[in-house]
Amino acid sequence: MSEAGGGRGFGYSVPQRAPWSLVAATAALCLVSATSVWTAGASPMSREEKQKLGNQVLEMFDHAYGNYMEHAYPADELMPLTCRGRVRGQEPSRGDVDDALGKFSLTLIDSLDTLVVLNKTKEFEDAVRKVLRDVNLDNDVVVSVFETNIRVLGGLLGGHSLAIMLKEKGEYMQWYNDELLQMAKQLGYKLLPAFNTTSGLPYPRINLKFGIRKPEARTGTETDTCTACAGTLILEFAALSRFTGATIFEEYARKALDFLWEKRQRSSNLVGVTINIHTGDWVRKDSGVGAGIDSYYEYLLKAYVLLGDDSFLERFNTHYDAIMRYISQPPLLLDVHIHKPMLNARTWMDALLAFFPGLQVLKGDIRPAIETHEMLYQVIKKHNFLPEAFTTDFRVHWAQHPLRPEFAESTYFLYKATGDPYYLEVGKTLIENLNKYARVPCGFAAMKDVRTGSHEDRMDSFFLAEMFKYLYLLFADKEDVIFDIEDYIFTTEAHLLPLWLSTTNQRISKKNTTSEYTELDDSNFDWTCPNTQILFPNDPLYAQSIREPLKNVVDKSCPRGIIRVEESFRSGAKPPLRARDFMATNPEHLEILKKMGVSLIHLKDGRVQLVQHAIQAASSIDAEDGLRFMQEMIELSSQQQKEQQLPPRAVQIVSHPFFGRVVLTAGPAQFGLDLSKHKETRGFVASSKPYNGCSELTNPEAVMGKIALIQRGQCMFAEKARNIQNAGAIGGIVIDDNEGSSSDTAPLFQMAGDGKDTDDITIPMLFLFSKEGSIILDAIREYEEVEVLLSDKAKDRDPEMENEEQPSSENDSQNQSAEQIASSSQEVDLVGQESPEESSLNSHPESLSPADTDNAASISPSEQNSNPMENHETTSLDGECTDLDNQLQEQSETEEDSNPNVSWGKKVQPIDSILADWNEDIEAFEMMEKDEL
344 versus 492: smaller Cβ distance to ligand DMJ: 492
The DSSP line for 51-105 is: HHHHHHHHHHHHHHHHHIIIIITTSSEEETTTTEEE-TTTS---GGGGGG--SS-
388 given a catalytic annotation: yes
Q: Which is nearer to ligand DMJ, 229 or 727 (CB)?
A: 229
Distance of CA 283 to the CA centre of its chain: 21
Asked if 147 is an active-site residue, the reply is yes
Is 251 known to be catalytic? no
Shortest distance, CB of residue 299 to ligand DMJ, whole angstroms? Answer: 9
From the list 294, 321, 792, 796, the catalytic residue is: 294
113 is catalytic: no
Q: Where are the beta strands (DSSP E) in 760-901?
A: 765-768, 787-791, 848-850, 873-877
CA angle 898, 904, 910 (to 5 degrees): 110
- 443 vs 660, which CB is nearer to ligand DMJ? 443
Instruction: Name which of 388 and 829 has its Cβ closer to ligand DMJ.
Output: 388
Query: Whose CA is closest to 209, among 145, 150, 137, 156?
Result: 137
The DSSP bridge pattern shows strands 224-226 and 205-207 to be: unpaired
Side chain identity, residue 363? K
Beta strand 681-687 with 707-711: parallel, antiparallel or unpaired? Answer: parallel
CB of 451 to ligand DMJ, least distance (A): 20
Question: Is 492 annotated as contributing to ligand binding?
Answer: yes
* Least distance from ligand DMJ to the Cβ atom of residue 774, Å: 29
H/E segment holding residue 283: strand 282-284
- The least distance separating ligand DMJ from the CB of residue 225, rounded to whole angstroms, comes to 15
Residue placing its CB nearer to ligand DMJ in the complex, 485 or 529? 485
Q: How far, CA to CA in Å, does 436 sit from each of 83, 111, 771, 802?
A: 19, 23, 23, 12
Closer residue to ligand DMJ (CB): 493 or 680: 493
- Among residues 350, 365, 406, 680, the one annotated as catalytic is 406
Question: Letter for the amino acid at 740?
Answer: G
Angle at Cα 100 formed by Cα 921 and Cα 69, nearest 5°? 145
Q: Which is nearer to ligand DMJ, 393 or 406 (CB)?
A: 406
d(CA 337, CA 346): 9
CB-wise, 274 or 865, nearer to ligand DMJ? Answer: 274
Contact 457, 143 (CB under 8 A): no
State which residue, 219 or 295, has the beta carbon closest to ligand DMJ. 295
Is residue 659 within 8 Å of residue 797, measured between CB atoms? Answer: yes
Residues 6+ away with beta carbon under 8 Å from 827:
580, 582, 636, 640
First-residue to last-residue Cα distance in the chain: 33
CB of 262 to ligand DMJ, least distance (A): 23
- Minimum Å gap between C-beta 491 and ligand DMJ is 9
Contact residues toward ligand DMJ (CB under 6 A) are 150, 295, 352, 404-406, 462, 492-493
DSSP classification of residue 275: E
Nearest Cα to Cα of residue 415 among 403, 430, 400, 404: 430
Q: Phi and psi at residue 41, in whole multiples of 5°?
A: 80, -145
**How far apart, in whole angstroms, are the C-alpha atoms of residue 914 and residue 630?**
14
Q: Which of the following is catalytic: 98, 309, 365, 388?
A: 388
Angle, helices 179-191 vs 234-244, to 10°: value is 130
Residue 492 or 892 with smaller CB distance to ligand DMJ = 492
Shortest distance, CB of residue 493 to ligand DMJ, whole angstroms?
5
Query: For strand 731-735 and strand 707-711, is the pairing parallel, antiparallel, or unpaired?
Result: parallel
Question: In terms of Cα–Cα distance, which of 834, 849, 857, 835 is closest to 748?
Answer: 849
Q: Are 626 and 634 in contact (CB under 8 A)?
A: no
Nearest approach, Cβ of residue 156 and ligand DMJ (Å): 15
Cα–Cα distance, 734 to 769 (Å, whole number) = 8
DSSP state of 501: G
**682 contacts 788 by C-beta, under 8 angstroms:** yes
Q: Least distance to ligand DMJ from the beta carbon of 354, Å?
A: 9
Q: Which of 91, 98, 99, 147 is catalytic?
A: 147
**Nearest partner of 136 among 176, 192, 190, judged by Cα:** 190
Closest CB to ligand DMJ among residues 109, 217: 109
Supply the minimum distance, in Å, between the C-beta of residue 406 and ligand DMJ. 6
The secondary element (H helix, E strand) that includes residue 154 is: helix 154-169
Residue type, 456: E
Length of the chain as a residue count:
933
CB of 730 to ligand DMJ, least distance (A): 41
* 3-state SS class at 847: strand
Rounded Cα distance, 374 and 330, in Å: 10
Which residues, in sequence order, are bridge partners of residue 77? 86
Annotated binding-site positions for Ca(2+) = 492
Which residues are designated catalytic? Answer: 147, 294, 388, 406
